[in-house]
Amino acid sequence: MEIRDASALVTGGASGLGEATVRRLAAAGARVVIADRDEKKGEALAADLGANCRFARTDVSSPEQVQQAISAAQMLGTLRAAVSCAGVGWVQRTINKEGVPHDLELFRKVVEINLVGTFNVMRLAAAAMAKNEPQRHGERGVIINTASIAAFDGQIGQVAYAASKAAVAGLTLPAARDLSKAGIRVLTIAPGTFDTPMLGQLPEEARQALAAGIPFPARLGLPDEYGQLALHMIENAYLNGETVRLDGALRMPPK
């Protein structure tokens, strides 16, 4: 897929993995819509990157807001890529030490944002891409979703998060098959432990302990390494229907 002068949508694009992806795509010549709930960070990033980037305040679980963000991207150019980085995490055991069960509404919220929100972006972006003129190889667009290694190695307290991310990984192949006749590829990245604002809230000792558990390189992942992979997935026409772990060979222990 040739992304130069085309448009791309990145959800969760105002910080972390999403911001790194926005910067990579913009550097490759794409015109990018930063879809995020954080107006301050989103507007600042768009201003930093210049005229080919726009911010759209977006709750990924809202069909109307996602459609508005897609429309904003189409105003910049032909929508060729959509990368879903928006997501939330929550730690709670199925039952705690006192025997109290997991909060059902919190479980629903995590699934609503991480899974339903991802699917909402995918279905609406695919509908827009299906109308594009095909490029070389018959491609009309690429959709990249974000799972997590918790989809495969979920730890104690990650039932909601791991379930939502496993579902994102699970929809990758059937979605790629669904969209094959439209010339739209679907891929998923499953990151390990990355140096994002979420981990930035941890004490330095805890961050170092996480880094030490990664086989090689023994450090936290850099958000730009996620952005690099997302850009490669967009450009490599034969990558499709796959979930790729990006984790330095880390396999998470139970806790």
Average pLDDT over residues 57-79: 98
> What is the residue extent of each domain of the chain?
7-246
Residue 248 has pLDDT above 90, yes or no: yes
Q: Are 111 and 122 in contact (CB under 8 A)?
A: no
d(CA 70, CA 79): 8
Average pLDDT over residues 238-242: 98
Mean pLDDT of the chain: 95
Residue 235 has pLDDT above 80, yes or no: yes
pLDDT score for 7: 98
Is 3.40.30.10 the CATH classification of the domain at 7-246?
no
pLDDT score for 212: 87
3-state class of 222 per DSSP? coil
Residue 19 has pLDDT above 80, yes or no: yes
Average pLDDT over residues 24-42: 98
Q: What is the full DSSP assignment across 65-91?
A: HHHHHHHHHHHHS-EEEEEE-------
Residue 85 has pLDDT above 90, yes or no: yes
Confidence of residue 136 (pLDDT cuts 50, 70, 90): confident
Average pLDDT over residues 35-48: 97
Q: Are 45 and 53 in contact (CB under 8 A)?
A: yes
pLDDT score for 201: 64
Average pLDDT over residues 172-186: 98
**Local structure of residue 95 (DSSP, 8 states):** B
d(CA 165, CA 155): 13
Kindly tell me the sign of the dihedral angle through the C-alpha atoms of 126, 46, 44, 147. positive
Give the catalytic positions in this structure: 161
Residue 98 structure tokens:
């006192």
Determine the angle formed by the axes of helices 159-178 and 104-111, rounding to 10 degrees: 30
Confidence of residue 89 (pLDDT cuts 50, 70, 90): confident
Per-residue pLDDT of 191-213, as tens digits, reads: 999 988 777 666 787 778 888 88
Average pLDDT over residues 157-169: 96
